[in-house]
Every structure is written in C-alpha cells, then in structure tokens.
C-alpha cells in the first residue's frame, strides 16, 4: 500500500516494524524486511515529488560556525536524497573502522569484515554491476594510473546509475502485502514507557490529520540531521531526550570536505576520472596506505587528477631533463588539478541542537553548528606533503602548491559533500555513543536508527553504499529479534 496520510481512513496502525523516513535506508530496510515476511509501516513526510515551499519549510533552521546549506542539502519526498545523489560508491576502508591512536573518538564497534557480506546485498539495491574494487590485485589499467609506492596507493570507486529510490522502488512498495507506506506523514512525537520501550510513534500531515503507529520495533531513517532533531525533541521536563543518555545525541556532525592544494605536472594520459572498464564505470583515485595513516597521524583522503590547460609559460620539453624526472625522462606531460576529498575526525562541538522556533508540525527547529577539529588541518597538510614527496621520489611529477594549508585558508569557506554523518554515533558502550553495534538506541529496548548518522568515523568514501549495507544488516537483525520475541 502506498497512499497519502490525508486519504487514509484509519487513525491507528499496528505493525511489527515502523520505519520513519523513505530514503535509501528506509526503503531498503522496508523491502528487505518484507522479503523476510515482516509487516512494516513506512512513514514518509514528503510526497512523490519535491514539496511546495510549505513542505520544505520544515527543514528551515539556524546555522552557526562554518557555513552550511541546511535546506539545499536535503530532499523531502519519497526516495529522499537519492534524488540528487551522484552515484559514487565504494566500501569504507579497513582503517576507517579502526580506533586510530591519535584521533579521539575514532573507530567502530564492528569491523569491516563483519559488514563486508552486506556490501554485496547493497550492490543489488544500488544496481551496481561489479563489486570489484581491486583490493587484492592490481587494476589492469596499465599506464592510466600511477605506480603504488612510497606510501601512496590507488583506490577505486564504482557507480550506481544512480538509483533513484523513489522511482525505482515505488511499484515494489505499492504492491507489497507486507508494507503500508503513508506519504505526507510527518513524524511528530514518540512515546516510551518507564522500562525504555517505545510504545508509539505519532505522525501528522500538514492539514492536521494524525496517525498513531504501534510497533514491536521502531526505526528512525530520517537522515543525519533529522534523526538527531527528532530525538532531541523527545525531551520531557527533567527526563532527557531519548538517546541522550551520554550527551552524544546530535554531536559529531560530519561531512566530507574538499581541498584543491595545487597543480600537478605529470605524465600525459593519466585517468583519475570516471571511465568504463569491462562494461562498468570505475574511477581510480590516489590515496594513502592504511599503515601510514595509523603510523604518521595522517588524514584519510583521496585525490582526483583533473586535466586542465597548461598553466605555466614553460616549454613542455623542459620537463624531459633529469632535474625534473631523474633517470625516467618523460616524453610527454600534462597539467592536472589535484582535488582532494578528506575525512573529518569526530568533533563534539560540531552538532545539531534545537532552536526555540517551532515548525508547522510543532517540533523545535534545527540549529546546526558545523565545526572541524583544527588537528584535521595539520593532518591534511602532512598528507599533502606525502603526495608531493611521492611525485618527487618517483620522478613522475611536480606539485605546485596554489592553496597551502595555513590558518587563513583553513578558516575560509570549505566545500562540503552534503553527506550528513555522525549525529547518532555507534558505540560499544552506552557512555560513548547513541546506538549499539546493531543500531539500537542504547537506553531503549526497541528503537533503532538507520543511515549515516550512526557512523562514528567516516573515511573519505561516499556514505550511500555503507548506508544501504547497514540497512540490510539491520533487517537481518530485526528478523531475528522478532522471531525470538
């Protein structure tokens, strides 16, 4: 079933699982559970198309710290932010799950090995033809990529078409006997009893129609900002908000930032961009070996080489001399712009809180304070130096710094990937996070969170593949919990 809440002839629903939010996490979870025979109520605040200004106004809020596009980075309709997703996919690296000695609050309570089987399922939902990322063997691209040495390695992205979840899975949800999906059903409240059990979720349309859903398990899949905002709104008097037992709720908001440190002169024909290999799109990127990331307190990042017009008034034959390339004389060179995407470390001051203003549903609005740890810029500087030294040692290029990492540049405006991560972080102990290794909120019996808000560390990979993998893993866990109860 798929219909607007305003057209429903009921005001109460009972279900095994209630999922709030129909983006990649919520839709994947609903369909995975339905395949396992689990009854699901799926609540989506938007409709089937981008909302009118009144609907989008629910995302309006305040921003402090670094500039951030609070409304533009989110889509409020069936399918969620898959509507503007570019399709970039790769699993997190093994080092992304590790607790790094020099990075406070880093590390996951699960390993990459534990999540690896679910990445396979995620590729199916994201319509990715190949799951070969060349982690155990060199890629057969010949001279299209640079050699792996001196701590520098090549990593690879795959690409979803990209899958627009709303269009792709609308029919499956509409025809499912296990799923009841209500559109225009904005989550307005959540009830829990004294033992920490969630007893009901209340949804409300903009016209005022209400729905109460009572389920054995509830999953919030509203996005990295809304998951935290909705839980923070559950505070009642002296009783803290659900999930705020550790004062981590809303904290450690992260996004992937970009940095273009300079121009590289290197061999012609390098392909650090998207191209087709054996019928599937792939994109190499430069990166840093896991071992060095742990040993030298560097930042996990990836680099693309974007061809550009030759920038200097120097004959290209100049670069054939031994001073430039040592014993490896380069016959032809090109100019590339080095574009880095780097990982932020968890920062408690980067957070979602609530303003005093309320939206049309009655919830207090978002206040987002986006911040980066200053140590990240020192790590980024050392990482850029590693790349620069690599080009020199190999004799394969020279990097001209046009944007050094200094106080002035790091204080200026920095781009973002619109990847909202970290506000309901996963942790082994309740005191250091919001959800446990199974995405269950620590201080509840039956409330779960899906999506990248549970990421405690984020690497440089786009989050969607891992979001969908975690949703598949959560579906299996919930099936087991429901069967045992």
For residues 276-286, average pLDDT: 94
Whether 70 is covered by a domain: the verdict is: no
CA distance 473 to 125: 13
Domain total in the chain = 1
CATH number at residue 432: 3.50.50.60
For residues 94-102, average pLDDT: 94
Check residue 326 and give its pLDDT.
Answer: 53
Structure-token pair, residue 323: 């001073």
Question: Beta strand pairing status for 210-220 and 12-20?
Answer: parallel
Whether 8 is covered by a domain: the verdict is: yes
Whether 148 is covered by a domain: the verdict is: no
- pLDDT band of residue 330 (cuts 50, 70, 90) is low
- What secondary structure does DSSP assign to 368-383, as a single string? EEE---HHHHHHHHHH
Which domain range does residue 432 map to? 1-60+75-90+164-252+420-485
Check residue 312 and give its pLDDT.
Answer: 56
Decide if 8 contacts 207 (C-beta within 8 A): no
pLDDT, tens digit (0-9, with 9 covering 90-100), for 35-57: 999 999 999 999 999 888 788 89
Residues in a beta bridge with 305:
338
Whether 80 is covered by a domain: the verdict is: yes
- pLDDT band of residue 327 (cuts 50, 70, 90) is very low
**Taking the model in full, what pTM does it have?**
0.95
Q: What is the enclosing helix (H) or strand (E) of 336? A: strand 333-342
Cβ-based burial of 300 (10 A; exposed 0-12, middle 13-18, buried ≥19): buried
Whether 113 is covered by a domain: the verdict is: no
3-state DSSP call for residue 321?
A: coil
Whether 335 is covered by a domain: the verdict is: no
pLDDT, tens digit (0-9, with 9 covering 90-100), for 197-207: 999 999 999 99
For residues 337-347, average pLDDT: 97
Q: Nearest-CA neighbor of 305 among 340, 276, 333, 332?
A: 340
For residues 389-394, average pLDDT: 89
Whether 396 is covered by a domain: the verdict is: no
Structure-token pair, residue 212: 């109460």
CA distance 227 to 263: 40
Question: Beta strand pairing status for 61-65 and 364-370?
Answer: parallel
Whether 307 is covered by a domain: the verdict is: no
Residue 20 has pLDDT above 80, yes or no: yes
- Measure CA 207 to chain center: 33
Residue 321 has pLDDT above 80, yes or no: no
3-state DSSP call for residue 275?
A: strand
Check residue 311 and give its pLDDT.
Answer: 57
- Residue 162 preceded by cis peptide, ω within 30: yes
- pLDDT band of residue 166 (cuts 50, 70, 90) is very high
DSSP label of 345: P
pLDDT, tens digit (0-9, with 9 covering 90-100), for 105-135: 999 999 999 999 999 999 999 999 999 999 9
- pLDDT band of residue 333 (cuts 50, 70, 90) is confident
Check residue 238 and give its pLDDT.
Answer: 79
């Amino acid at each position: 079933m798929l219909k607007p809440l305003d057209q429903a002839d009921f005001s109460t629903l009972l279900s095994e699982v209630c999922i709030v939010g129909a983006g990649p996490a919520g839709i994947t979870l609903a369909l995975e559970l339905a395949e396992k025979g689990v009854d699901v109520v799926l609540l989506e605040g938007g409709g089937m198309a981008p909302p009118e200004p009144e609907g989008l106004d629910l995302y309006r809020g305040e921003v402090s710290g670094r500039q951030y596009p609070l409304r533009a980075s989110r889509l409020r309709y069936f399918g969620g932010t898959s509507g503007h997703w570019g399709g970039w996919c790769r699993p997190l690296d093994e080092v992304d799950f590790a607790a790094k000695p020099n990075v406070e609050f880093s590390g996951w309570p699960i390993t990459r090995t534990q999540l690896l089987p679910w990445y396979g399922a995620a590729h199916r939902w994201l319509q990715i033809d190949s799951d070969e990322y060349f982690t155990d063997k060199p890629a057969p691209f010949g001279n299209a990529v640079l050699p792996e040495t001196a701590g520098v390695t090549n990593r690879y992205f795959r690409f979803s078409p990209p899958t627009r979840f709303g269009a792709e899975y609308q029919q499956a949800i509409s025809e499912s006997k296990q799923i009841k999906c209500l559109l225009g059903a904005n989550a307005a409240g959540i009830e829990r009893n004294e033992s920490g059990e969630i007893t009901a979720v209340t949804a409300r349309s903009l016209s005022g129609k209400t729905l109460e859903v009572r389920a054995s398990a509830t999953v919030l899949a509203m996005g990295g900002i809304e998951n935290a905002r909705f839980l923070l709104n559950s505070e009642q008097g002296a009783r803290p908000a659900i999930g705020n037992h550790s004062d981590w709720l809303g904290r450690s908001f992260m996004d992937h930032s970009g940095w273009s440190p300079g121009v590289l002169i290197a061999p012609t024909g390098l392909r650090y961009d998207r191209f087709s290999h054996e019928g599937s799109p792939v994109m190499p990127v430069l990166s840093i070996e896991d071992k060095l990331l742990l040993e030298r307190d560097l930042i996990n990042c990836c680099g693309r080489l974007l061809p550009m017009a030759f920038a200097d008034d120097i004959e290209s034959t100049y670069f054939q001399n031994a001073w430039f390339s040592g014993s490896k004389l380069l016959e032809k060179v090109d100019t590339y712009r080095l574009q880095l995407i780097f990982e932020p470390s968890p920062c408690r001051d980067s957070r979602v809180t609530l303003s005093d203003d309320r939206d049309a549903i009655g919830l207090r609005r978002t206040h987002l304070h986006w911040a980066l740890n200053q140590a990240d810029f020192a790590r980024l500087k050392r990482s850029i130096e590693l790349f620069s030294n690599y080009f020199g040692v190999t004799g394969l290029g020279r990097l001209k710094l046009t944007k050094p990492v200094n106080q002035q540049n790091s204080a200026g405006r920095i781009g973002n990937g619109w990847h909202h991560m970290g506000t309901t972080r996963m942790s082994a102990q309740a005191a250091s996070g919001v959800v446990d290794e199974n995405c269950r909120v620590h201080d509840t019996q039956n409330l779960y969170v899906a999506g990248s808000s549970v990421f405690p560390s984020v690497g440089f990979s786009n989050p969607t593949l891992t979001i969908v993998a975690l949703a598949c893993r959560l579906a299996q866990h919930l099936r087991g919990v429901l069967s045992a109860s």
